[in-house]
Every structure is written in structure tokens, then in C-alpha cells.
């Protein structure tokens, strides 16, 4: 049994690993370079990634996603982050690399372009109206 009380299966182990764990795998240059080169060649890992299938490209894409995720999970305001639209698009892109089908599903309910598309000022004004008594 794991610390969470669940059976020690492959699925449970994978589910308990944090996003930071996975991102750190791509940050490891020497030890895992051969591993990632082989996995990326097979196209079973990140099947939706069509160009520049390298560990370095994944690292460069995943680190900003992790940073944004950490800010959200720690309840930090993100609407003033520089290039928030680009960060959102990076998340969408990475999701498409992991699972093209899930990316299409999420695209159908993604409201970010409508909510944040006009920019920071209209969003902040609308948010202020909602919290002002």
C-alpha cells in the first residue's frame, strides 16, 4: 500500500507523481538524454508533438506551464502576468502534444479568449465590479 492507502499499481503511482516531477525529468540534461531521445523517437510519448521533438524543446515548453500552474494552485493572481495570452497558448499546445483528443475536447469549453481577450484592464474592471459590495 502507498502512503495514500491505495494499492501500489502502475496507474496509482503515475497519478501520484507531481507535475514538478515530470518537468524535472526534462530538466535533467546528462542522465536522461538517451532515454528521452529514444522515447521521443517512438512518437508514443507526446504523440501530438510534430516538430522539434527534443528534450530541450519540451523543457522550454513545460517550465512556463509549471510556473503558471504553481501560481494558480497557490492562489496568486495571474491576470497581470506578462504575456498571459502566450502562456495560455503554451498550455494548450503542451496539452495537444500529450493528447490531441483531450486538447480538442478542452478547446470546446476554453473561455480564456473571451474572458481575457480584450486585455487586462476590462478584465480587472469587471472583476472589481463583482467583488465590490
Q: pLDDT (tens digit, 9 = 90+) per residue, 40-77? A: 777 778 889 888 888 888 888 988 898 899 888 888 88
The 3-state DSSP class for residue 11 equals helix
Let me know: does 36 contact 44? Beta carbons within 8 Å: no
CB 22 within 8 A of CB 77: no
Sequence-separated (6 or more) residues with CB below 8 Å from residue 63 = 23, 27
Q: What is the pLDDT of residues 83-133, one digit of tens each?
A: 888 899 999 999 999 899 999 999 999 988 888 877 777 777 777 777 766
Residue 11 pLDDT greater than 90, yes or no: no
Helices 55-73 and 33-42, axial angle in degrees (round to 10): 100
CA dihedral 82, 88, 91, 93 (to 10 degrees): -110
Q: How confident is the model at residue 23 (pLDDT cuts 50, 70, 90)?
A: confident
Check residue 3 and give its pLDDT.
Answer: 63
Distance CA 83, CA 49 (A): 23
pLDDT of residue 10: 67
Amino acid at each position: 500500500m502507498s502512503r495514500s492507502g491505495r494499492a501500489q499499481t502502475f496507474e496509482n503511482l503515475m497519478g501520484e507523481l507531481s507535475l514538478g516531477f515530470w518537468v524535472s525529468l526534462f530538466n535533467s540534461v546528462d542522465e536522461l538524454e538517451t532515454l528521452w531521445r529514444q522515447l521521443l523517437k517512438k512518437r508514443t510519448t507526446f504523440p501530438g508533438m510534430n516538430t522539434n521533438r527534443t528534450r530541450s524543446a519540451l523543457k522550454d515548453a513545460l517550465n512556463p506551464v509549471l510556473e503558471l500552474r504553481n501560481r494558480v494552485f497557490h492562489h496568486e493572481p495571474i491576470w497581470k502576468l506578462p504575456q498571459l495570452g502566450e502562456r495560455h497558448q503554451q498550455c494548450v499546445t503542451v496539452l495537444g502534444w500529450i493528447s490531441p483528443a483531450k486538447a480538442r475536447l478542452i478547446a470546446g469549453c476554453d473561455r480564456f479568449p473571451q474572458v481575457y481577450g480584450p486585455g487586462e484592464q476590462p478584465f480587472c474592471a469587471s472583476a472589481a465590479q463583482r467583488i465590490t459590495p
